[in-house]
A = this chain, B = another copy of it.
Amino acid sequence: MTKKKVTSDDIAKQLGVSKALVSFVLNGKGKEKRISDEMCRRVFEVAGKLNYQPNQIARWFRTGKTQTIGLIIADISNPFFGKLGREIEREAALQGYKVIFCSSDESPVKFGKQLDMLINSRVDGFVMAPPPGSEEQVKAIEMSKLPYVLIDRFFPSIDSNYVVIDNYAAAYKATVFLLKKGYTKIAFLTVNDELVTMHDRTRGYLQALQDSGLTLGEKSVYRLPFSHSKDDVKEAIVQLAGEKEVGAILFSSSKIGLMGMEVMVELGIRIPEDIAIVSFDDPDFYKVCISPVTAIAQPLSEMGSTAVKILTSEIEAGEQDLLSRKIVLESKFIERKSSGE
């Protein structure tokens, strides 16, 4: 168990050849460079005997590639991003990439700093869910010439790769579902409505109401402040349950759905007897909630692996495709008890 790191030069010296030859052989270019089989065999033999571990940093430095992906999501402790992150890690590993995780907390400033840090760390590319109001930061990536794929969100003003679901259709469908159940007073509780992703959900909801001939309209969309706290949710729910006499609520994410349920439990509002609920996202625990939650499940596994595949193909192509890949996947509606009989 020696302490000294063995380098390619050590192998070369021991064999009386140049370290260039060692490098060729170890990188599988022996054939290509017409190095004799016997020599190749001996290089591998000595490398194994010395337990040679190439210094990756030297390689990165030389090649400019780090085999690293920068991932920026809102918050890794949010189960939605946890599942997504897991898939991204899995697919990246499959392709020989490691991933640096960053949580932006939906702050454009933090996001910008993380982006700079990752660019300076010479990641090969990014997968990210940019926070609201971060168009400038995203555009600035262009300067670095690094490829990136947006996930869960995108900006209409930026022509980029992205992987999202059809949010409009999903919200429309969920709202129609509640209407068919007989609910007429349906509220929509959301946050980050500036993001297309979220706004498409709002649009889908409103359109479904309109198409049904109801005119509750805008009044029933509750846009929570940017950094929403449980108190904000509470205030909204108190109003909805009280004067608004709402019969059902559609939550625009599981994070807000969870907060909503917490508040309802505290206030003694029964689900679905007093108020029925449907929620975007489908974390595992929705099955065991106070009333199992009717959910709009996103194909997180497919979203994550698709994003990574697009990214690595661009990294390996050496430059960005002229054509951005814009992937829109379908979600799955899962009925449970929270939406009533």
Of B77, B102, B118, which one neighbours A82 at CB under 8 angstroms?
A: B77
Which partner residue on chain B sits nearest A291 by CB separation? B290
Copies assembled: 2
Assess whether A101 is in contact with B89, with CB atoms less than 8 Å apart: yes
Q: Of A54, A60, A288, which is in contact with the most chain B CB atoms at under 10 Å from its CB?
A: A288
Cα-based distance from A75 to B66 in the complex (angstroms): 24
Which partner residue on chain B sits nearest A110 by CB separation? B93
Nearest CB of B to A254, in Å = 9
Assess whether B76 is in contact with A85, with CB atoms less than 8 Å apart: yes
Q: Which residues of B contact A215 (CB under 8 A)?
A: none
User: A58 interface residue, CB < 8 Å from B?
Assistant: yes
A:56-71 near B, CB below 8 Å: 56-58, 60-61, 66, 68
Assess whether A98 is in contact with B79, with CB atoms less than 8 Å apart: no
Of B54, B61, B76, B86, which one neighbours A86 at CB under 8 angstroms?
A: B76
Q: Which of A119-127, A128-136, A238-246 contacts B (4 or more CB under 8 A)?
A: A119-127
Assess whether A102 is in contact with B89, with CB atoms less than 8 Å apart: yes
User: A32 interface residue, CB < 8 Å from B?
Assistant: no
Cα-based distance from A61 to B58 in the complex (angstroms): 6
Assess whether A262 is in contact with B287, with CB atoms less than 8 Å apart: yes
Q: Which residues of B contact A121 (CB under 8 A)?
A: 56-57, 68, 98
Assess whether B101 is in contact with A99, with CB atoms less than 8 Å apart: yes
Q: Which residues of B contact A26 (CB under 8 A)?
A: none
A:105-127 near B, CB below 8 Å: 117-122
Of B76, B102, B285, which one neighbours A283 at CB under 8 angstroms?
A: B285
Q: Which residues of B contact A102 (CB under 8 A)?
A: 89, 93, 98
Given contacts A82-B79, A101-B99, A292-B265, contact A57 B61 (CB under 8 A): yes
Which partner residue on chain B sits nearest A75 by CB separation? B86
Assess whether B100 is in contact with A86, with CB atoms less than 8 Å apart: no
Nearest CB of B to A53, in Å = 6
What is the 8 Å Cβ interface bit string for chain A, positions 302-334, against chain B (1 contact, 0 not)? 000000000000000000000000000000000
Given contacts A265-B287, A285-B283, contact A77 B75 (CB under 8 A): no
Given contacts A121-B56, A258-B288, contact A76 B61 (CB under 8 A): no
Nearest CB of B to A45, in Å = 20
A-B CB contact pairs (8 Å), 21 listed: A53-B119, A55-B122, A57-B57, A60-B61, A61-B61, A75-B86, A76-B76, A76-B86, A76-B89, A77-B86, A85-B101, A89-B103, A93-B102, A98-B102, A258-B288, A262-B288, A283-B285, A285-B285, A288-B289, A289-B289, A289-B290
**6 shortest A-B CB distances, which residue pairs?**
A77-B86, A285-B285, A261-B288, A82-B82, A77-B82, A77-B83
